[in-house]
Structure 1
Amino acid sequence: MGDMIPAEELEPGAASSQLFDPSMRSEARRLRTFWQWPHTAPVSARDLAKAGFFFVGPRDQVQCFCCGGVLMDWGPGDCPVAEHLKFFSSCKFIRGEDTGNQEMFPLQEIFDTVDGQFLSLLQGIDSEEAAPQNPEMVTEEMRLSTFRNWPQYSDMHPEQLARAGFFYTGQGDVVKCFYCDGAVRNWSFRDDPWREHAKWYPECEFLLRSKGREFVSSVQEAFSSTLLSPRDSWDQTEQDSSALQDESWMSTEEQLRLQEERMCKVCMDRDVSVVFVPCGHLVTCGECASNLRLCPICRAVIRESVRTFMS
C-alpha cells in the first residue's frame, strides 16, 4: 500500500487551492518523468500518471500535480486512484473537478490524426499488440519537443523525424520509434525517415498503418536487392571482382552509399560478414551476429550463420 507524507512536510503551498505543479497537467509529461521507473514495480507508471502522479524519487516516491500529495512504498495490488482518494480526498483532480488535466490520446485517436487521413485503422487489432513501447511519445508534438539539443551537424530535420514516429534519445543522432522502440542513427541528408523506418523495422505497427504494407514491402524489396543470399555467399570471388570494376566509375556519393550498406547495422563500425539462415540477410559483423537470436531486418529466428568474405 502506498504511504503518504504528512502535509506539514511538503513545501509551502502544496496544500493550497491552486495547482501544485501546473506544468504537470499533461498526463504524457507526467509519464515521461517515470523513465527510470522499474518495469518490475508492483504499480505501473502509466496508472500512476493517469491518477495524477509524477515521479519525484527517491525510490518509488510520487507526487500529485494538483494537490501536491506524496505517496510511496507501493505494494502489489495497490490502485493509484484508490490510494490517491484515500490519503488526499480533498484533491480537486481525484474528485473529478476541472483542473486542466490533459489526458493522453487513445491509440485510435492517435492513428486517426496521422497525416489527417488514417481513419479506424486499429479496428480488429489486439489491444496488447497495439500498445506502443513509449506511450509518452505518442503525439508528434511530444516527440518534436525532445529535439531541443539535436546536433547542429545533422542535416536531418527534426520535424521529418518526429512525423515518422521518432523521438530524440539525447545521444549523438540516435532516435527511437515511439511505437516499436527501434533505434536509427548516422543520418545523412539523403535519408528519408519513413524509408529508414521501413528498412530496419518493417513490422512496426505504426509504420504499417501510417504508410501501408505496399510501401514497406517496396522498401524491403529495394533494400534486400543489395544483400547477399546464403546460396550466393559461399563463393564470391567473381562477383567481388566485378563489383570492384564497377566501383571505378561510381560517383563519390554512390561509393559512400555502398560503403554504408557494407557496414554492420548493429555496431556501425565493422563490415558485414555473416549471412543469416534461412532469411538470407547480410547485415552484421561476426561479433555482433553471435549475440543475436532474431534477424534485425525481418525478425526471423536465426537457425544458422554463414561466414562471408567481402574484398
Structure 2
Amino acid sequence: MPPENAHMSSGRLATFMVGQGPKRRASSAKKRGGAALLRWPHAKPSPEELAKSGFYYVPSASSPDNCQCFACGVMLDGWEPEDIPALEHHAHRTECAWALQCYIKHKFDIDEPIDEDPMSEEYVKGREATFEGWPHEGKRGWKCKVAKMVEAGWFFDPSPSMEDGVTCAYCQTEIGGWERKDDPM
C-alpha cells in the first residue's frame, strides 16, 4: 500500500530519503546483529527521477532497489544507471495513466517529436484516469469538470502547494488554484 500522500511527488520522494526496513527496536536489533535500514543504493536513476515517474521506495533484503508506482502498483527493481524511470514505467505498464503522462513529458523534455495524437482514445483515457479525486468534480456550477479538463489536454498533477494542480504534457504548463468560472480550454 502506498504512503498516505504517495500521489504527490514530494511524498514519494520522501520515501527515498529515509531508511527503510524491518521495524525493530534499536536494542533488539543490536542484540540480534540487527537488520540494517535500507537506503536507495544508486546515484542513477535518482530518487527525484523515480518520484516524478510515480514511484515510491519499497525495498526488501532481497530487492534493495525495489520501487512501486502509486497509481498502478507495478513494482520494478534491478535499476541500471542508464535506465530512464519514465520509459521503464511505460514499458512495463502501458495502461498506467501516470506512466503515460510521464512518457509524454519525457519525450517533450528531450525535444523528441510527439507523433501520437493527443486526442487518441489511449491518451484521453490516460489523462482521465489521473483525475481520480479531482476536488472540483462534485461542485455545482464549476466549469473545470474532469471531462472538460481532459478535453483541454490537462492531467491531474497535485502537489502540496496546489491540491488542484494540473499539467499539460505537451507544453508543460502547470496551473492550479482553479475557480468556479475558470474554463480549462
TM-score by length of 2: 0.42
Higher helix share: 1
Give 1 or 2 for the bigger CA radius of gyration. Answer: 1
